[in-house]
Amino acid sequence: MALQTNLLLWIILLPLIGSAVNGIFGAIPWKTFPRIPATASGFVATGSVFLAFLLTVKLFLSLIGNGEVQTSLEQIAFEWIHVGDFNIPMEFRMDGLSGLLTLVVTGVGTLIHLYSIGYMGHDENPQRYFSYLNLFTASMLILILGANLPILFIGWEGVGLCSYLLIGFWFQDIEKAKAGKKAFVVNRVGDLAFLIGMFLLFQNFKTLNFQELSSALSSSSVEIGFGILTLISLLLFIGATGKSAQLPLFVWLPDAMAGPTPVSALIHAATMVTAGVYMTCRMSFLYSLTPITSLVIAVVAVLTAFVAATIAIVQNDIKKVLAYSTVSQLGYMFLAVGVGAYVTAIFHLMTHAFFKALMFLGSGSVIHACDGEQDMRKMGGLKEYMPITYWTFAIGTLAISGIPIFSGFFSKDEILWQTFSSPLGGLPLYIIGLMTAGLTATYMGRLFFMTFHGKNRASEKVRSHLHESPLVMTIPLMVLAFLAALGGFLGFPHFMGGHVFPNALEHLLHGILPLNQGHGSAAMEWGLVLVSVLVASGGLFLASRIYIQNPEKQASGPLVSFLENSYYLNELYEAIFVRPIQAFSIFLWKIIDVILIDGFVLVLGKGSKFFGSHFRTLQTGKLEHYLLAFIGGLVSLAILYMFLI
């Protein structure tokens, strides 16, 4: 049942207005009036997202309070494209899935904006930063609330643009500018495939509206072999590998650390990188019919999760560890999608938003205290200087490691169970997923103990002013820590006693996403949970034994070098794609452009100049010369006529 409302558009407009206010009256240096002060700029940006959050809460409560499972709120803002039978309205829709994601984006986004007021307080142009941050949030909201693929694609490209602007925010540093450009270019590769997939969808079904596509495909049977549905679903998934940083297009995400740390929290936790997961879940009616694509997604996802975890375990930059951790956790989400556990994928997306935003903001608090230092080898012993950051970061570490009762435990173990028990999963995928869980606990324990425990290894200058971050930065940490600790109870599993804590998430998404594919006995599920908890605990214990007693211990050797350099994937892509394209571009420039095109134009110009300079001598201005030429021409024509006769 669809209910009409006039308020959905305002969820998007509020951060857009905040972006415009900061952009026009803050980022642009007008001569007629002064800029908005930095603090006021931060509160304008934060307030606009917070108002969007309050409005989302209001609409979400009216949505779930209706009593019907498949209720949705809809609003058509205006007719957008109308050509013949092709009609795409600017339509927005909130159901249980988009409502939950909107709550996460606006809620976590508000905390990141608030944190940014303290973090960016000394920047030269915080107004431009907050304008971009608001625009980023608005773009993600367009992506989530869009009722059809073209509107989703507007938001899809919007978050891509904003990631470029924010990753390269300090563009005076050439390396940071290159990181922004890299993110933009790599994402365009996936976006091209996404566009082709959209065109094929419209060609075959004459609509791009999600509900109409779902209805059109509801009568279809599971595709046997490789057909048009498999091709479309693969093309859309390639787009998702760009946005959500999966093999082979994940190389941009670690470089995204070049932007301000709160940007990393927004990109990695609440917005851009979850776009691909959301899109595949929104299109679950397509992916549930294409088992070949599901297998491809599961294999790519589990390999991405494992590869990123092995890289993270040798990184020394605190933000790089968290960046590769994000790639790995996104792999877990796509693993759930691949084995048909769409509800579980959204569950982990939500819990990951809580604990990953917490840890990125926590790392920003550490960097802020350490005078910009990001190398964990130059930290240590920060527990006594930064107690709030320490305890909140500890909760995030336990959550991502999968320790009961923290949020990541519930969602990660549900993914492993679904991978083991689903007909689309299997033991090999489960074993790799379990190994990744052990690596996750180990590298997060390494980060935590190297940063907060042991002897302080900072320079005397840094050590002299180590301090806890201000309240405007620690309050978001505490709120996120609460969510990271207890957010998992929203998806409390049935085998643990669903009558005590009903699975609210499953109820919310019932009828929107297919039911999870996994099945098996409660005893088997308890056994697998015990195994994963032992693996996670073992990883944390191993990290504590190594890095509390000897935090400066660093492994070495060819394998470590191989992992430190991210499997040399950047170098491989440089050799296979970047250099040949650059060489071909130089060829087009020097040969085609300069010699052929410019040469042809120059020849025409020089020829015109040559003939003009000679023929102009015929114009003497004397009548007798013109008369002589006229008579000569007549005589020539007469002679020619005689010969022709």
CA 210 to chain centre: 22
* Segment (H or E) for 3: strand 2-4
Name the residue type at position 307: V
CA distance 388 to 391: 5
In the predicted structure, residue 107 carries a pLDDT above the cut 70:
yes
In a domain, 152, yes or no: yes
In this structure, are strands 2-4 and 86-94 parallel, antiparallel, or unpaired? Answer: unpaired
Residues 6+ apart with CB under 8 A from 178: 168, 255
Specify whether 523 is located in the same domain as 633: no
pLDDT tens-digit profile of 540-563? 999 998 888 776 666 777 888 898
Specify whether 323 is located in the same domain as 460: yes
* Segment (H or E) for 89: strand 86-94
In a domain, 613, yes or no: yes
Asked whether the beta carbons of 368 and 469 are under 8 A apart, the reply is: yes
The per-residue pLDDT for 623 is: 79
What mean pLDDT is predicted for residues 188-209? 94
Specify whether 503 is located in the same domain as 369: yes
Tokens representing 367 are: 């960097």
Specify whether 544 is located in the same domain as 592: no
Instruction: State the angle between helix axes of 149-167 and 228-243 in degrees (0 to 180), rounded to the nearest 10.
Output: 30
Other C-beta atoms lying within 10 Å of the C-beta of residue 394: 15
Specify whether 301 is located in the same domain as 406: yes
Residues 6+ apart with CB under 8 A from 104: 270, 349, 350, 353
In a domain, 397, yes or no: yes
Residue 533 belongs to what domain range? 148-564
Specify whether 585 is located in the same domain as 557: no
What mean pLDDT is predicted for residues 469-475? 93
In a domain, 142, yes or no: no
pLDDT tens-digit profile of 319-329? 999 999 999 99
The per-residue pLDDT for 547 is: 86
In the predicted structure, residue 499 carries a pLDDT above the cut 70:
no
What mean pLDDT is predicted for residues 474-497? 91
Specify whether 552 is located in the same domain as 624: no
In the predicted structure, residue 123 carries a pLDDT above the cut 90:
no
564, 595, 616 - which closes a domain: 564
Instruction: State the angle between helix axes of 318-338 and 407-421 in degrees (0 to 180), rounded to the nearest 10.
Output: 40
When pLDDT is cut at 50, 70 and 90, the band that residue 621 belongs to is confident
Specify whether 229 is located in the same domain as 186: yes
**Residue (of 280, 270, 272, 281) closest to 243 by Cα position:** 272
Asked whether the beta carbons of 424 and 517 are under 8 A apart, the reply is: yes
Specify whether 165 is located in the same domain as 272: yes
In a domain, 547, yes or no: yes
Average of per-residue pLDDT values in the chain:
90
Residues 6+ apart with CB under 8 A from 438: 535, 536, 538, 539
Quote the number of domains for the chain: 2
In a domain, 424, yes or no: yes
Name the residue type at position 315: Q
Specify whether 528 is located in the same domain as 638: no
CB contact burial 430-464 (16+ within 10 A = b; e otherwise): bebbbbbbbbbbbbbbbbbbbbbbbebbbeeebee
Tokens representing 586 are: 């130089």
In a domain, 9, yes or no: no
What mean pLDDT is predicted for residues 197-213? 94
The per-residue pLDDT for 449 is: 94
529, 544, 564 - which closes a domain: 564
Tokens representing 221 are: 């049977």
Alpha-helix residue ranges (DSSP H) falling in 548-622: 558-564, 569-573, 579-587, 599-615
564, 594, 617 - which closes a domain: 564
The per-residue pLDDT for 66 is: 65
CA distance 256 to 323: 8
What length is written for the chain?
Answer: 645
CA distance 294 to 177: 36
When pLDDT is cut at 50, 70 and 90, the band that residue 273 belongs to is confident
Specify whether 307 is located in the same domain as 390: yes
Q: Reduced to 3 DSSP states, what percent helix, strand and coil does the chain have, rounded to the nearest 5?
A: 75, 5, 20
**Residue (of 154, 46, 64) closest to 108 by Cα position:** 46
Specify whether 431 is located in the same domain as 483: yes
In a domain, 78, yes or no: no
CA distance 352 to 356: 5
Beginning with the edge strand found earlier in the chain, give each strand of the sheet holding 72-83 in spatial order. 2-4, 72-83, 86-94
The per-residue pLDDT for 3 is: 83
CA distance 305 to 332: 6
The more confidently predicted of residues 125 and 286 is 286
